[in-house]
Amino acid sequence: MTEPIRVAVAGHRGKVGSVLAAALQNEPAIEYVGGIARGDDLAEFLHQKRPQALVDFTKPNEAMHNALAAVAAGASPVVGTSGLSSADVDKLETACKAKKVGGIVAPNFAIGAVLMMHLAEIAAPHFEAVEVIEMHHATKLDAPSGTALATARRLASRRKDRPFAHNK
């Protein structure tokens, strides 16, 4: 039997992070090594707990700091936080390649959303015009959401001769 993957969660007290942390503790293929919160000593946590992956559901500026610290410690960052810039993603990709660790920035972890983005990308060339419209609860922090932006980018990648724009 293979060893379980050692996983930590940054933002484990938040909406998504708390649900994820609880779910990871019930997953036999995962060894949940703990959560990190704002104000905790991340470097010390990573040194002591030695996670193989750090899943991040914090804020964009924290997520970038956490992801780069994870990479420096040899852990793969899994960023579920919206709002990273293209430059941030490029910087993280460069850091991961340099340390030879995997990493992912995922705008949405829901299977339905991932399938929607994939199918929209396949359908994009077959339509004259495409529009992404989204609705959220009143406390949603980012608009447009990371999912909407990722969907739009994927659509644009298949529609190179047509303009891409968004407005808040």
pLDDT tens digits, residue range 109-151? 888 988 998 998 899 888 888 888 888 777 766 777 777 877 8
d(CA 37, CA 97): 27
Q: What mean pLDDT comes out for the span 150-167?
A: 73
pLDDT tens figures, 42-81: 999 999 999 999 999 998 889 999 999 999 999 999 999 8
pTM of the model: 0.79
Q: Which of 97, 118, 136, 166 is catalytic?
A: 136
User: What topology does CATH give the domain 5-105?
Assistant: Rossmann fold (3.40.50)
Give me 163's structure tokens: 């303009």
Q: If DSSP states are collapsed to H, E and C, what string results for the chain?
A: CCCCEEEEEECCCCHHHHHHHHHHCCCCCEEEEEEECCCCCHHHHHHHHCCCEEEECCCHHHHHHHHHHHHHCCCEEEECCCCCCHHHHHHHHHHHHHHCCCCEECCCCCHHHHHHHHHHHHHHHHCCCCCCCCCCCCCCCCCCCHHHHHHHHHHHHHCCCCCCCCCC
pLDDT, position 166: 59
Asked if 15 is an active-site residue, the reply is no
Instruction: Domain ranges for the chain, please list them.
Output: 5-105, 111-158
Average pLDDT over the chain reads 88
- Kindly indicate the confidence band of residue 1, based on its pLDDT and cuts at 50, 70 and 90: low
pLDDT at 163 over 90: no
pLDDT, position 143: 73
Q: Which of 15, 118, 140, 166 is catalytic?
A: 140
Asked if 136 is an active-site residue, the reply is yes
